[in-house]
Amino acid sequence: MTLSHINWYPGHMKKTRDLIRDNLKMVDAAVEVVDARIPVSSRNPIIDDLLQGKIRILAFNKSDLADETATKEWIRKFNDQGISAIPLNSMTGAGIPGFIRFLQEVEAERNRDRLRHKPLRMMIVGVPNVGKSSLINRLTGSKSASTGDRPGVTRGKQWLSLENGMQLLDTPGILWPKFEDPNVGKNLAYCGSIKDEILDLPTLALELIHVLEEGYSQLLIRRYRLDELGETSLETMEKIATNRGFILPGKRIDYERTARTLLDEFRSGAIGRITLERATGPEIEA
């Protein structure tokens, strides 16, 4: 599959779309989990359409992997447009207490004029592999939802309870059928939200190197102990392979191993804190 035409819309994604639509009437608010490294690409426009009229909360997950300055700029931009956005790390728990306090404020506001207190009921949504299940497990204090490092691990819907009585409706990740902007597909692929099995990994890694050369060249040089970047992204990739010893018989570059290593180290944060999208350009759709 070419990188300019990345699409992945298996049958269970359509089921998830129907699941979200059918259960919206049962919830007060929607928590949309996004990857802080790609806060626009990891927001699904189908979810935008489905959640119209509902209270929206953006959970900027994996914020520990993102450029801290860029995250602050994004949070400010979303907040300025009336979209509540909160950075957190569902794996370590960073930001979770503040996130829960915000949910409590939303709950209190909804109950302000009610005689009987009703617990906040939320739906957790997001594209695959942004950390929805890890966030749910952190909020509930148990391994209630299935997690994994592969897209689409969570299956079916689950109602879960927080210790404070709030209720969560978990849903599987949902992608949209076509990426109008090819960069969206690439960003999702870089971050692991699209199955590696359907991608040309050496080409994907080469494209990522080009992106990092433009925005985070010093991190790339430091991580792979380069004296300098190559004159082309391919030459940089070959320098990385040589320094790591990824050489096949006949002194041939092992592009596949180099690609997998680079993608794994980007996704884990080993290269450094990186944000692929900046808070500039057109207004964000609510």
Taking only the tens of pLDDT, the chain with its 286 residues reads 455 555 555 555 677 777 778 888 889 998 999 999 999 999 877 777 787 778 889 999 999 999 999 999 999 999 998 889 999 999 999 999 999 999 999 999 989 988 888 999 998 888 888 898 899 989 988 655 444 444 444 445 678 889 889 999 877 767 665 667 888 889 999 999 888 887 899 999 999 999 999 999 999 999 999 999 999 999 999 999 999 999 999 999 999 999 999 999 999 999 999 999 999 754 555 4
Domain limit, last residue, from 115, 149, 170:
170
Token pair of 62 as six digits: 């994996």
Q: Are residues 28 and 164 in the same domain?
A: yes
Q: Tell me how far the alpha carbon of residue 42 is from its chain's centroid.
A: 5
Token pair of 128 as six digits: 């695959």
Answer yes or no: is 181 within a domain: no
Q: Are residues 10 and 149 in the same domain?
A: yes
pLDDT of amino acid 87: 96
In angstroms, rounded to a whole number, what is the distance separating the alpha carbons of residues 62 and 151?
15
Q: Are residues 155 and 72 in the same domain?
A: yes
| Structural domain harbouring 241 | 200-268
Q: Are residues 134 and 218 in the same domain?
A: no
Answer yes or no: is 189 within a domain: no
Q: Are residues 152 and 85 in the same domain?
A: yes
Q: Are residues 264 and 154 in the same domain?
A: no
The torsion of the CA quartet 7, 13, 17, 20, rounded to 10 degrees, works out to: -130
Answer yes or no: is 283 within a domain: no
Q: What angle do CA 58, 128, 46 make, to 5 degrees?
A: 65
On whether the CB atoms of residues 197 and 204 are closer than 8 A, the answer is no
List the CATH number of the domain containing 124. 3.40.50.300
Q: Are residues 30 and 148 in the same domain?
A: yes
In angstroms, rounded to a whole number, what is the distance separating the alpha carbons of residues 266 and 238?
17
Residue-wise DSSP of 156-211: S-EEEE-TTS-EEEE------S--SSHHHHHHHHHTT-S-GGGS-HHHHHHHHHHH
Domain limit, last residue, from 170, 192, 214:
170
Q: What is the pTM of this model?
A: 0.84
Q: What is the largest CA-CA distance in the chain?
A: 78
Q: Are residues 216 and 166 in the same domain?
A: no
Answer yes or no: is 257 within a domain: yes
Helices within the chain (DSSP H only): 11-23, 45-50, 68-80, 96-110, 132-140, 182-190, 201-215, 217-223, 233-244, 255-268
What H or E segment, with its residue span, contains residue 124? strand 121-125
Q: Are residues 262 and 156 in the same domain?
A: no
Q: Supply the DSSP symbol for 250.
A: T
Which residue, 278, 279, 226, is CA-closest to 262? Answer: 226
124: β partners? 31, 170
Query: Left, alpha or beta for 258 (phi > 0: left; psi -120 to 50: alpha)?
Result: alpha
With 0-12 / 13-18 / 19 or more C-beta atoms within 10 angstroms meaning exposed / middle / buried, residue 144 is: middle
Answer yes or no: is 279 within a domain: no
Place of tokens 């804190």: 273
Place of tokens 């447009």: 81
102: β partners? none
- How many domains are contained in the chain? 2
List the CATH number of the domain containing 248. 1.10.1580.10
pLDDT of amino acid 182: 82
Q: Are residues 163 and 34 in the same domain?
A: yes
Q: Are residues 125 and 225 in the same domain?
A: no
Answer yes or no: is 195 within a domain: no
Q: Are residues 152 and 222 in the same domain?
A: no
Answer yes or no: is 188 within a domain: no
pLDDT of amino acid 127: 81
167: β partners? 121, 161
Answer yes or no: is 37 within a domain: yes
